[in-house]
């Protein structure tokens, strides 16, 4: 069985989010105000953005859809970095530390 890399998982999640966005846009064109009135509150609830707890891998797809609904869609690099931080919490901090030291 092939091993899925973080970048491949990020590409897959972006593809799913784009497909979801296409369906949301179709609903919005059929019924104006669908996104803000009906969809966004439910997606925010699924993303648990108002709950005071750390982000989890289970919340990530809903958070990604919320980002897609915004003006600036996330890039593959951003999604890969966020996904890596969720999968290996210590890895993102360790990677940022040498970058900060080399910049100084």
Q: Are 62 and 91 in contact (CB under 8 A)?
A: no
- The 10s digit of each residue's pLDDT in 27-69 is 888 888 777 777 777 777 777 776 666 777 878 888 888 888 8
At 72, phi and psi to the nearest 5? -110, 110
Look over the chain and give the mean of its residue pLDDT values, rounded to a whole number.
78
Q: Is residue 68 part of a domain?
A: yes
Number of structural domains (the chain) is 1
CA-closest candidate to residue 80, choices 31, 11, 33, 28: 11
Residue 30, pLDDT score: 84
Range of the domain at 82: 32-86
Q: Is residue 27 part of a domain?
A: no
Q: Is residue 24 part of a domain?
A: no
Q: Is residue 11 part of a domain?
A: no
Residue 95, pLDDT score: 52
């Amino acid at each position: 069985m092939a091993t899925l890399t973080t970048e491949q998982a990020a590409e897959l999640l972006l593809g799913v989010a784009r497909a979801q966005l296409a369906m949301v846009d179709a609903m919005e064109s059929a019924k104006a105000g669908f996104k803000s009135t009906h969809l966004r509150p439910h997606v925010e609830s699924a993303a648990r953005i108002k709950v005071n707890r750390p982000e989890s891998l289970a919340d990530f797809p809903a958070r990604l859809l919320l980002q897609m609904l915004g003006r600036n869609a996330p890039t593959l690099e951003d999604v890969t970095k966020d996904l890596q931080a969720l999968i290996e919490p210590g890895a993102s901090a360790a990677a940022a530390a040498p970058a900060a030291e080399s910049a100084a």
